[in-house]
């Protein structure tokens, strides 16, 4: 078998080599070298358009590489395809592979049974044995800084050979990291290096964080109970300060954000940088991680940048997780035209801070032995990871950040002329101080902004209002209930002109035109304001749409009306229910019951419930413990200071906690007495016993245990002398011996001065584990005096019952 496999491999390699040699002959003049690598790369053939059965992937699908970082490279076939062999190579941009320095980075073999370096072209990776396969994996370490752009290429051998592609799914082109891709307000994507900024004045931005991490989008092992984003911390800063970066190591502040969600240490690190930082960026935490915007506004914050501090970075913990975080690093807001970026939109994936080795959301803490570099999570990290994908696809973004310029201050020197958006942004309000609304003033939410007061392309104002719902302290004045801001009239739109008209909202759809089958329905709207130039309004005022009612049109079908409008939500705030109805216009012709639904119910979400904050006194001291010994409870109270008529206070007015005093004495606890045993004699005088068992020994000074065995005399009948069985005679003999021994004991007392006895020995082990056993102890003579008689100094023995409980 081995010989056959070797022969097959030699034949396979011979066919490949003959293909590359034949294909390379017409192109020999194009190369500078005669090496096997250059012949492979010069081999060309007709490329099949739209070919996508195979794909070359780099973990995380990065658009750029970080010098010196290691990436997992995967060559994968679609579910219905396979390949027998392959060649994988990495070249510097514009190189042909004829020189040693044409190759970029280096490959590392993961599985020697699957991949190996080519014998005739060491920089390239190929298969170890020709066989059917659907994927291979290798590591590729990026070249050092200054290497420029790199192209990874692959060829596939199936039944025929698919040549190297200069573009498409078997080619991956990446440039060295050092530039940042951003989406502008017009949707185009540009890359620019972190150069010195030439912009003038300052710019003010608003950053908004939209979490998109939900069970619907990321279902694997989603933590339903504790999912959240921690408080966001960041700064606008110079390029001399790095909060965090790809390929760097986590500071103590980054570690605390990533592992604990605490921004305290990182804020301390930021503030220690002094003039390198212009604005500290802070946003509130979000529980749960995903919420519809109708319920709660996305976290946002405002910050400023200037010529020296034109970068923005921030970080938030993805909780719960080992040390995963999401954020931006060194986002440059300065343009090469010496202006300020108008808008940045970035989709974000999670990053590993390199401080904890956990692989899932709720892995136990597992400190990384040696700190690892910060890197993005990938779909090939660990099979137990929540983002794992055996095909190595890109991770679905978990958040989106939007950075919008809202104002510029000072003289500007941008080369490109301002557009309408720049003008509108510049007339925004000057920086406001933080909201100084007293806690004693309770307002409703702000209303939507009104229309601009200017009907033409001129500066105007717009207004919003709120209502003062409660003033808890009359001595503290409440601020204004109206707010104004500058605006530009509708005529400033690039598409607007004097012929623009204003339309109303669409009216509800009309009933369908047929009683069964497919028909037509319509709806209308009207002109609210005609064009200023007196021309006719060109906007449509009627709209039609197809509709289907009772599509089967059979005798058992019924005709129903269109659905009515939804009823108001059953809740004024939070989660509620709403319903809508329709009626049966015509019952089934065959007299059966109409099976169409005439009632629909669904959930509705209203704005977050508004809770009146309570004015409370401080907590009282804790009360004494409710018991004098052992475990008890103690309480403390506080009282409500704000008036009751302002609403029910949801805060706790009493707290209860456990308390512990010295243990209480526990008395001995016994079972009930057993029944008396049978008499131990069949005739004459005897005794019978009963017992009880200790259930709980006395503790902490409790009463000791009383006796556990009792005996009393018994007499069955008088024994007849000279008669009876041998057993009875033997028993009577033993009784006589006992009486004799008692007499001797009495005699011993009189002659105790003639003998010296040893102390009683310890009780022997019980003869039975249960069911009335016996244990005994001995007293032996220590010294006999000459005058002492032998019977007087006899050893003594005592017996007693033990383990009397039933088996």
Mean pLDDT for back-to-back runs of 10 residues, the chain (807 residues): 43 40 33 51 47 75 78 80 84 80 86 84 85 85 83 78 62 72 34 69 90 85 83 92 88 90 89 89 83 65 91 92 90 87 86 88 78 85 84 80 87 66 51 58 77 67 79 77 73 49 74 76 75 69 82 71 81 82 79 83 74 74 89 89 62 87 85 88 84 85 87 80 68 79 60 69 87 84 59 74 80
Q: What is residue 556's DSSP assignment?
A: T
Nearest alpha carbon to residue 310 among 203, 451, 186: 203
Q: Which residues of 461-475 are buried (b: 16+ CB within 10 A; e: fewer)?
A: ebeeeeeeebebeee
User: With DSSP H G I counted as helix, E B as strand and the rest as coil, what are the percentages for the chain, rounded to 5?
Assistant: 15, 35, 55
Q: Return the structure tokens found at 91.
A: 């070249």
Dmax (CA) of the chain: 154
Q: What is residue 490's DSSP assignment?
A: G
Q: What is residue 516's DSSP assignment?
A: S
Nearest alpha carbon to residue 244 among 318, 315, 332, 145: 315
Alpha-carbon span 722 to 744, nearest angstrom = 26
Alpha-carbon span 140 to 152, nearest angstrom = 10
Give the start-end residues of each E strand in 142-201.
150-157, 161-162, 171-176, 179-183, 189-193
- The Cβ of residue 321 has, within 10 Å, a number of other Cβ atoms equal to 24
Backbone angles phi, psi at 502, to 5 degrees: -105, 130
End-to-end CA gap in the chain:
72
Nearest alpha carbon to residue 502 among 537, 451, 535, 533: 537
Q: Are the C-beta atoms of 91 and 124 separated by less than 8 Å?
A: no
Which residue do the tokens 């080519």 mark? 118
Helix (H, G, I), strand (E, B) or coil at 191: strand
Helix (H, G, I), strand (E, B) or coil at 480: coil
What is this structure's pTM? Answer: 0.40
Stated as kind and residue range, the H or E segment containing 8 is helix 2-24
Nearest alpha carbon to residue 169 among 52, 59, 63: 52
Alpha-carbon span 762 to 728, nearest angstrom = 33
Give the start-end residues of each E strand in 671-780.
685-691, 694-696, 709-715, 755-757, 773-779
Q: Are the C-beta atoms of 633 and 657 separated by less than 8 Å?
A: yes
What residues are paired with 140 via a beta bridge? 71, 107
Helix (H, G, I), strand (E, B) or coil at 287: coil
Q: What is the DSSP string of 9-54?
A: HHHHHHHHHHHHHHHHGGGGGG-S---HHHHHHH---PPPTT--SE
Tell me whether residue 736 is exposed, middle or buried, using C-beta atoms within 10 angstroms of its C-beta: 0 to 12, 13 to 18, 19 or more.
exposed
Q: What is residue 356's DSSP assignment?
A: B
Q: Are the C-beta atoms of 203 and 408 separated by less than 8 Å?
A: yes
Q: Are the C-beta atoms of 51 and 81 separated by less than 8 Å?
A: no
Neighbouring residues of 721: CB distance < 8 A, sequence distance ≥ 6: none
- The Cβ of residue 241 has, within 10 Å, a number of other Cβ atoms equal to 18
Neighbouring residues of 61: CB distance < 8 A, sequence distance ≥ 6: 393, 394
Nearest alpha carbon to residue 338 among 235, 441, 245, 408: 408
Nearest alpha carbon to residue 580 among 561, 567, 593: 567
- Sort strands 171-176 and 64-65 into parallel, antiparallel or unpaired: parallel
Question: So what's the pLDDT on residue 635?
Answer: 93
Give the start-end residues of each E strand in 630-788.
631-637, 654-660, 669-670, 685-691, 694-696, 709-715, 755-757, 773-779, 781-784
Backbone angles phi, psi at 490, to 5 degrees: -65, -20
Helix (H, G, I), strand (E, B) or coil at 291: coil
Q: Are the C-beta atoms of 326 and 378 separated by less than 8 Å?
A: no
Question: So what's the pLDDT on residue 744?
Answer: 62
Q: Are the C-beta atoms of 567 and 580 separated by less than 8 Å?
A: yes
Tell me whether residue 230 is exposed, middle or buried, using C-beta atoms within 10 angstroms of its C-beta: 0 to 12, 13 to 18, 19 or more.
buried
Helical ranges in 337-429 per DSSP H: 420-426
Q: What is residue 462's DSSP assignment?
A: E
Alpha carbon distances (Å) from 398 to 216, 220, 282, 350, 733: 12, 13, 20, 7, 99
């Amino acid at each position: 078998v081995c010989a056959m496999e070797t022969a097959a491999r030699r034949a396979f390699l011979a066919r490949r080599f003959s293909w590359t040699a034949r294909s390379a002959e017409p192109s020999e003049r194009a190369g500078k070298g005669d090496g096997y690598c250059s012949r492979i790369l010069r081999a060309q053939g007709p490329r099949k358009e739209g070919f996508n059965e195979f794909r070359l992937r780099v973990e995380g699908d990065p658009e750029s590489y970080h010098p010196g970082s290691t990436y997992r490279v995967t060559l994968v076939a679609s579910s219905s395809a396979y390949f027998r062999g392959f060649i994988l190579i990495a070249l510097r941009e514009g190189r042909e592979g004829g020189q040693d320095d044409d190759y970029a980075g280096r490959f590392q073999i993961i599985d020697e049974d699957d991949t190996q370096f080519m014998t005739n072209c060491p920089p390239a990776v190929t298969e170890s044995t020709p066989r059917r396969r659907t994927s291979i994996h290798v590591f590729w370490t990026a070249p050092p800084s200054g290497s420029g752009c790199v192209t990874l290429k692959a060829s596939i051998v199936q039944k025929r050979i698919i040549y190297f592609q200069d573009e498409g799914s078997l080619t991956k082109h990446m440039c060295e990291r050092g530039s940042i891709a951003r989406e502008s307000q017009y949707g185009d994507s540009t890359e620019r290096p972190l150069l010195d900024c030439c912009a003038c004045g300052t710019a003010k931005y608003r950053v908004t964080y939209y979490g998109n991490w939900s069970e619907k989008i990321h279902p694997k092992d989603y933590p339903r109970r504790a999912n959240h984003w921690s408080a966001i911390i960041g700064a606008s800063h110079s390029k001399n300060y790095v909060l965090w970066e790809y390929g760097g190591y986590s500071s103590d502040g980054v570690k605390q954000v990533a592992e604990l969600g605490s921004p305290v240490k990182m804020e301390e690190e930021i503030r220690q940088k002094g003039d390198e930082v212009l604005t500290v960026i802070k946003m509130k935490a979000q529980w749960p991680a995903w919420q519809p915007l109708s319920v709660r506004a996305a976290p946002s914050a405002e910050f400023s940048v200037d010529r020296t501090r034109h970068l923005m970075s921030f970080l938030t913990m993805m909780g719960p997780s080992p040390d995963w975080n999401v954020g931006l690093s060194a986002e440059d807001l300065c343009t090469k035209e010496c202006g300020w970026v108008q808008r940045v939109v970035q989709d974000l994936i999670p990053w590993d801070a390199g401080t904890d080795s956990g692989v899932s959301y709720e892995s136990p803490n597992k400190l990384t032995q040696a700190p690892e570099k910060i890197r993005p999570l990938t779909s090939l990290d660990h099979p137990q990871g929540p983002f794992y994908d055996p095909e190595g696809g890109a991770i679905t973004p978990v958040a989106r950040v939007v950075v919008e310029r809202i104002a510029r201050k000072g003289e500007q020197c941008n080369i490109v002329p301002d557009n309408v958006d720049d003008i509108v942004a510049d007339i925004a309000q000057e920086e406001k101080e933080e909201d100084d609304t007293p806690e004693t003033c309770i307002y409703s939410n702000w209303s939507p902004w009104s229309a601009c007061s200017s009907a033409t392309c001129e500066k105007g104002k717009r207004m919003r209002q709120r209502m003062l719902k409660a003033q808890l302290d009359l001595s503290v004045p409440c601020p204004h209930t109206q707010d104004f801001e500058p605006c530009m009239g509708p005529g400033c739109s690039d598409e607007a002109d004097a012929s623009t008209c204003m339309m109303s909202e669409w009216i509800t759809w009309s009933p369908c035109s047929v009683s069964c089958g497919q028909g037509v329905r319509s709806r209308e709207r009207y002109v609210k304001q005609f064009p200023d130039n007196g021309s006719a309004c060109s906007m449509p005022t009627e709209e039609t749409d197809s509709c289907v009612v009772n599509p089967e049109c059979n005798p058992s079908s019924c005709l129903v009306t269109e659905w009515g409008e939804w009823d108001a939500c059953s809740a004024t705030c939070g989660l509620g229910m709403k319903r809508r109805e329709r009626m049966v216009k015509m019952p089934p012709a065959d007299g059966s019951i109409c099976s169409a639904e005439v009632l629909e119910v669904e959930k509705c979400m209203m704005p977050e419930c508004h809770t009146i904050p309570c004015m409370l006194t401080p907590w009282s001291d804790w009360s004494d413990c409710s018991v004098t010994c052992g475990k008890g409870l103690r309480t403390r109270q506080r009282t409500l200071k704000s008036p009751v008529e302002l609403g029910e206070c949801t805060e706790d007015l009493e707290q209860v906690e456990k308390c512990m005093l010295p243990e209480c004495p526990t008395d001995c606890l016994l079972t009930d007495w057993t029944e008396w045993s049978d008499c131990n004699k069949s005739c004459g005088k005897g005794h019978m016993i009963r017992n009880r068992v200790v259930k709980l020994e006395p503790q902490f000074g409790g009463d000791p245990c009383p006796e556990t065995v009792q005996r009393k005399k018994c007499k069955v009948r008088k024994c007849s002398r000279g008669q009876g069985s041998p057993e009875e005679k033997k028993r009577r003999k033993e009784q006589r011996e006992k009486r004799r021994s008692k007499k001797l004991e009495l005699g011993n007392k009189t002659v105790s001065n003639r003998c010296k006895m040893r102390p009683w020995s310890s009780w022997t082990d019980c003869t039975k584990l249960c069911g009335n056993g016996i244990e005994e102890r001995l007293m032996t003579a220590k010294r006999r005096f000459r005058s002492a008689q032998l019977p007087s100094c006899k050893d003594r023995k005592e017996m007693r019952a033990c383990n009397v409980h039933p088996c």
